[in-house]
Amino acid sequence: MQSLGRHVLAELYGCRFEVLNNIEKVEDIMVNAALEAGAEIREFVFHKFSPQGVSGVVVISESHLAIHTWPELGYAAVDVFTCGDKVDPWDACKYLENMFQATFVNASEIKRGILQEQDERLVANI
């Protein structure tokens, strides 16, 4: 069965507070994760919360990367959604695991937009 995209949901544990609470570092890591995976970046936005935490999204031509951090817990929730065959979301996740120095990662992939046989014929005719 063909799908329109791959969506990796990753939970990163044991990350350093100083990294997860620094908007510039989180932004830089997320943007570079997209580039590492071969994605084409369109735009990005990040927000620093008080007293701690960062959330942000990198919009790519192939979809997006998003993050929400809980520095006080050493935890980050990440999703990497890619469409097409050019970008592998696992490449971005591996980069994030390394750069955030996670001690444990729990990740899974969901196929998005699974096409049935008749839907595949319809898309082929468009």
Active site residues: 63, 68, 83
| Distances 59 to 27, 30, 53, 116 between C-alpha atoms, Å | 12, 11, 20, 28
Residue given tokens 């990440």 in the structure block: 78
> Would the CA dihedral through 38, 44, 104, 99 be positive or negative?
positive
DSSP H helical ranges for the chain = 17-20, 23-36, 89-99, 117-125
Burial tier of 60 (Cβ tally within 10 Å: 0-12, 13-18, 19+): buried
